A and B are shown apart, each in its own frame.
Chain A
C-alpha cells in the first residue's frame, strides 16, 4: 500500500468533486485531508453549532455519524473502478469516548471489499491519534444505487478528477 496513490495536487483537485457538491458536508466544514485508493481521511472543525451537550461542550454523536458516513462513502468511491452512484445500506457506530470539546474531528475510512453489488467499509473517528478512537464504524453500501449522480462543482474539475482516479486505478491494478 506504499505506492503514492494520489499526489497533494490530486487530492486538492478531488476535494472539490467529493465534498463541494454535498451541501451538508460543506455546511459543517468537512474537508478531505488525504486520500488513497479505497481510503479517505476527512476532518470536521469544532464549532458551537455542533455541540450535543451544552453543559460540557461535547460534540453531538450525530456529527460523528455524518463524518463517518460521508468518509465511508468517499472511501467506496475511491475503491471503485469507475464512478457510480452509491447509497448507504447500513452503518453501525460504536462510541468509545466523548469527543474533547474545542478539538476538531478526524475520520479515517477504508473500503476493504467491493463485490458486484455491495461495498464494505470500516472506519474510525479520532482527534489526532487513530489508536485512541472516539468512535468506530462498519458500513455497507449499495453500488449503482440510482441513476442520479452528484453534481460536481465544475465539469472540468470533475473530468480532471475522474482522469486522476482512473489513472491511479490502472497503475494500482
Chain B
C-alpha cells in the first residue's frame, strides 16, 4: 500500500462537500491515518448536555472507514468517483460525544474482491474511552457493475 506513492487522502476527503460541511480532515502520518471531526456548533444534537448528534457521529465513522479504504486501496490517481459505497453500517453508541474535536481510526478486517469489511472507532480526549464504534460492509467500486 504505502510503499508506493501514498495518495493524499485529505485532499480526496476535502473534495466531498458533506465531509467539508461536517469539518472532517485527515491527518496522514507514515502508513497511518487519523480522521478528525473538528467541533462546530452545527454538529450538536442535544444542546443541554451538550452532545454531538448521533447521525453526525455515524457519518464521521462512515467517512473514517471510506478514508481508510481509499488510503489502502486507491491508486495514485484516485478521484471521488472511485470511493467505495456503503452497503451496511452498524453503529454502537458508547458515550455521548462532548462538544470538542473527535478522532477516528478504521481497520479493514477483510477485503474481498467485491466487498470489504471495516471496523471504525471514534474517541475524544482518551483513546481508551471510545464514544462510538461501527462496523460495516463497503462495495468496492472496481467491482461495481452499476458504475458507468
Binding site for B on A (CB under 8 A): 21-25, 27, 48-56, 59-63, 65-70, 73, 87-95, 98, 146, 148-151
A-B contact count (CB 8 A): 144
Decide if B88 touches A92 in the complex (CB within 8 Å): yes
- Interface majority SS (helix, strand, loop, mixed), chain B: mixed
> Which residue from chain A places its CB closest to the CB of B42 in the assembled complex?
A27
Chain B residues with a Cβ closer than 8 Å to the other chain, count: 40
Task: List chain A residues, Cβ under 8 A from B41.
Answer: 23
Bound Cα distance A70, B87 (Å):
20
Can you list 23 pairs linking A and B with CB atoms under 8 Å apart?
Answer: A22-B44, A23-B43, A24-B45, A25-B45, A50-B21, A51-B18, A52-B18, A53-B81, A62-B63, A65-B91, A66-B54, A66-B55, A66-B56, A68-B55, A70-B53, A73-B54, A90-B93, A91-B91, A93-B58, A93-B91, A94-B88, A95-B86, A150-B48
A29 to chain B, nearest CB (A): 12
Contact B92 A148 (CB under 8 A): no
Which of the listed residues A48, A63, A65 has the most CB atoms from chain B within 10 Å of its own CB? Answer: A65
The residue from A24, A54, A63, A69 contacting B43, defined by CB atoms under 8 A apart: A24
Closest B residue to A97 by beta carbon equals B146
- Per-position contact with A for B62-95: 1 when CB-CB < 8 Å, else 0? 1100000000000000011101011111111100
For the residues of A in contact with B, the DSSP-based class is mixed
By a CB distance below 8 angstroms, the chain B residues around A73 are: 54
Contact of A65 among B17, B79, B80, B89 (CB under 8 A): B89
A residues in contact with B90, CB < 8 Å: 90-93
Q: Is the CB of B15 within 8 A of A63?
A: no
Inter-chain contacts of B55 with A (CB < 8 A): 24, 62-63, 65-70
